């Protein structure tokens, strides 16, 4: 009886890996042995860095909000406390976008936050320069 090698399935499996390695440089995109390792590593990094990207964007949004709030006379934490007290429910992504693209709108939010903080008992705002 002839030996069965399951060639169609093996070829399909290798082809899938080589297709996934398209765009890689050199033998990593042409030879199965090297493409397999390259694709496995790429999938590992993609999985890991999807979480890293979320972390990095969160940090960026905080930095933008902090810089814009400080330019208007509040710290990040006081600003966030103020907008929460004012009942404004914008997330950090939207606040960052306003701080980056629309200074007038962000300044209006800062003024609302200051007003809400001033009405809170026991909170002192920094003196205007």
Residues of the chain with CATH 1.10.1900.20: 56-119
> What is the pLDDT, as a whole number, of residue 127?
67
Model confidence over 76-128: pLDDT tens digits?
Answer: 999 999 999 999 999 999 999 999 999 999 999 999 999 999 988 876 776 66
Model confidence over 53-80: pLDDT tens digits?
Answer: 999 999 999 999 999 999 999 999 999 9
CATH architecture, range 56-119: Orthogonal Bundle (1.10)
> What is the pLDDT, as a whole number, of residue 4?
85
Q: pLDDT band at residue 3, thresholds of 50, 70 and 90?
A: confident
In this structure, the number of other CB atoms found within 10 A of the CB of residue 100 comes to: 15
Collect all residues with Cβ–Cβ distance below 8 Å to 123 and sequence separation of at least 6: 81, 117
Cα–Cα distance measured from residue 89 to residue 97, given in angstroms and rounded to the nearest whole number:
15
Q: Are 96 and 61 in contact (CB under 8 A)?
A: yes
Cα–Cα distance measured from residue 81 to residue 114, given in angstroms and rounded to the nearest whole number:
10
Beta strands in 1-129 (DSSP E): none
Whether the CA torsion 82, 86, 89, 94 is positive or negative: it is: negative
Q: 0.85 cut: is pTM over it? A: no
Cα–Cα distance measured from residue 82 to residue 85, given in angstroms and rounded to the nearest whole number:
5
> What is the pLDDT, as a whole number, of residue 128?
60
In this structure, the number of other CB atoms found within 10 A of the CB of residue 47 comes to: 9
> What is the pLDDT, as a whole number, of residue 1?
75
């Amino acid at each position: 009886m002839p030996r069965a090698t399951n060639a169609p399935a093996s070829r399909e499996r290798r082809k899938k890996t080589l297709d996934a390695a398209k765009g890689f440089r050199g033998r990593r995109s042409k030879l199965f042995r090297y493409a397999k390792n390259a694709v496995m590593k790429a999938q590992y990094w993609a999985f890991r860095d999807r979480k890293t990207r979320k972390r990095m964007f969160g940090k960026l949004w905080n930095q933008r909000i902090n810089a814009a709030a400080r330019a208007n006379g509040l710290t990040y934490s006081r600003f966030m406390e103020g907008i929460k007290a004012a009942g404004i429910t914008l997330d950090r992504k939207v606040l960052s976008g306003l701080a980056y693209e629309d200074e007038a709108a962000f300044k209006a939010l800062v003024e609302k936050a200051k007003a809400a903080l001033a009405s809170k008992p026991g909170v002192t705002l920094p003196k205007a320069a």
